[in-house]
Homo-oligomer: A and B are copies of this chain.
């Protein structure tokens, strides 16, 4: 497995990243533009989600039809995602088509048409997605949890609200977008069947005269935290909890990821064992690490029946709290094996690699090789894992519950309001 990692920083603040991979025909691209949902101005919450749609309705000299035909003709499997601080554009295609796809993305990002006529359907689609959350309680629960857990507005729902979406106008969103999409902090990462020098030359050609000044920094306010209960007469109860963890650059980061794995990294993990196998309380339960640039958390979710909900919540919290009492050598060894195996297998996918490069640069301003990741995982001791669990204990939870009845949080679990 080739592990040549390339970095090129452009004078306008954009960074190019690349990893050529042997034995593959595909080349995947991840493009981060620093204009995420947290940048949505007051009154325009959800604007980034509308924008993500709108940017594909014509760009450069292509109308919507021609733009989408062109991407389809190139076999580009693309997806767009609104993140807290970025719009993320991902596209996987054969390496031979990368340069043509890149040219289209330069138009989408630098010269989106954003015409009035296309605005309304994009707003409607975003509204429809917001409304569909009513039928997807698990997803709704997760969105609200991130919103309440992270400092405002960093975790804010990417859909805004019905009111903000309805009051958004084409002209306001257009000037926010065109004034806000800056090369400063933009990242474009490619992995797979790539020609790095050719990619750099083309990207510089397409983007070097991009000069939009950066956004004002986000005005960050304290998080809401607390416990939210959404009453719903459903047959299932959705429980979600978040508590603080370390960011990617922290010295206990790998201990945190191994703690996540001990709790939730497989069928033998503690949460699965205690909640599913021993007690049959839930069909699934999981604990996932998630990070923004300066804030991170462990997000733990479970779905169960109303009858089992209180016990499920109690056992979840108990299992997590007991991590600080220690882990066995076997648990740690198993978690290391799982995590390393996962990293190696993920490293075989061009899409995963391009996303990982972009993430590394954003979080760390450098790139990690597979060898570095692997040694870092290997070097974590049981003492470090306990140190992590003691310094970042599973308590002071931010909680979201969806179901017919409210639940009682154990003493010490509720975050002081």
Interface residues of A (CB under 8 A from B): 1, 21-26, 56-57, 64-65, 68-69, 71-77, 92-94, 97, 120-121, 124-125, 128-129, 131-132, 134-138, 234-236, 265-269, 273, 276-277, 280, 282-283, 303-305, 330, 333-334, 337-338, 340-342, 344-345, 348-350
Contacts of A283 in B (CB 8 A): 125, 128-129, 132
A73 touches B277 (CB 8 A): no
A135 touches B234 (CB 8 A): yes
Measured between C-beta atoms, what is the minimum distance from A31 to chain B in Å?
17
Task: Take A280-B121, A337-B74 as given contacts and tell me if A267 and B26 are in contact as well, using a CB distance cutoff of 8 Å.
Answer: no
Of B93, B124, B282, the residue contacting A341 (CB under 8 A) is B93
A26 touches B234 (CB 8 A): no
A128 touches B304 (CB 8 A): yes
Of B134, B235, B305, the residue contacting A234 (CB under 8 A) is B134
A280 touches B125 (CB 8 A): yes
Q: Tell me the nearest residue of chain B to A283, going by C-beta.
A: B128
Contacts of A277 in B (CB 8 A): 57, 64, 68, 121
Measured between C-beta atoms, what is the minimum distance from A153 to chain B in Å?
24
Contacts of A76 in B (CB 8 A): 341
B348 touches A26 (CB 8 A): yes
The CA-CA distance from A22 to B22 in the complex, in Å, is 9
B334 touches A135 (CB 8 A): no
B267 touches A340 (CB 8 A): no
Task: Take A120-B280, A132-B283 as given contacts and tell me if A25 and B266 are in contact as well, using a CB distance cutoff of 8 Å.
Answer: no
Contacts of A69 in B (CB 8 A): 268, 330, 334
Contacts of A94 in B (CB 8 A): 341, 344-345
Of B21, B128, B269, B337, the residue contacting A73 (CB under 8 A) is B337
Of B72, B235, B341, the residue contacting A134 (CB under 8 A) is B235
13 A-B residue pairings within 8 Å (CB atoms): A22-B22, A25-B345, A69-B334, A71-B266, A73-B337, A75-B342, A77-B341, A77-B345, A94-B345, A131-B235, A131-B236, A134-B235, A136-B136
A73 touches B348 (CB 8 A): no
The CA-CA distance from A273 to B57 in the complex, in Å, is 11
Contacts of A71 in B (CB 8 A): 266-268
Contacts of A330 in B (CB 8 A): 69
Contacts of A267 in B (CB 8 A): 56, 68, 71-72
Task: Take A23-B22, A25-B1, A268-B68 as given contacts and tell me if A340 and B75 are in contact as well, using a CB distance cutoff of 8 Å.
Answer: yes
Q: Tell me the nearest residue of chain B to A235, going by C-beta.
A: B134
The CA-CA distance from A342 to B75 in the complex, in Å, is 7
Known: A68-B266, A132-B283; 18 extra A-B contacts, CB below 8 A, are A1-B23, A1-B25, A22-B22, A23-B23, A69-B334, A71-B266, A72-B265, A72-B266, A72-B337, A75-B342, A76-B341, A77-B341, A77-B345, A93-B345, A120-B280, A132-B236, A135-B135, A348-B348
Contacts of A132 in B (CB 8 A): 235-236, 283, 303
The CA-CA distance from A236 to B24 in the complex, in Å, is 42
Contacts of A269 in B (CB 8 A): 72
Q: Tell me the nearest residue of chain B to A129, going by C-beta.
A: B283
Contacts of A137 in B (CB 8 A): 135
The CA-CA distance from A251 to B24 in the complex, in Å, is 31
Closest A-B pairs by Cβ, 7 of them: A75-B341, A23-B23, A121-B280, A72-B266, A68-B267, A68-B268, A124-B280
B266 touches A92 (CB 8 A): no
Of B121, B234, B282, the residue contacting A128 (CB under 8 A) is B282
Contacts of A303 in B (CB 8 A): 132
The CA-CA distance from A95 to B368 in the complex, in Å, is 24
Measured between C-beta atoms, what is the minimum distance from A401 to chain B in Å?
14
Contacts of A128 in B (CB 8 A): 282-283, 304-305
The CA-CA distance from A121 to B277 in the complex, in Å, is 7
Measured between C-beta atoms, what is the minimum distance from A200 to chain B in Å?
24
B135 touches A236 (CB 8 A): yes
A72 touches B268 (CB 8 A): yes
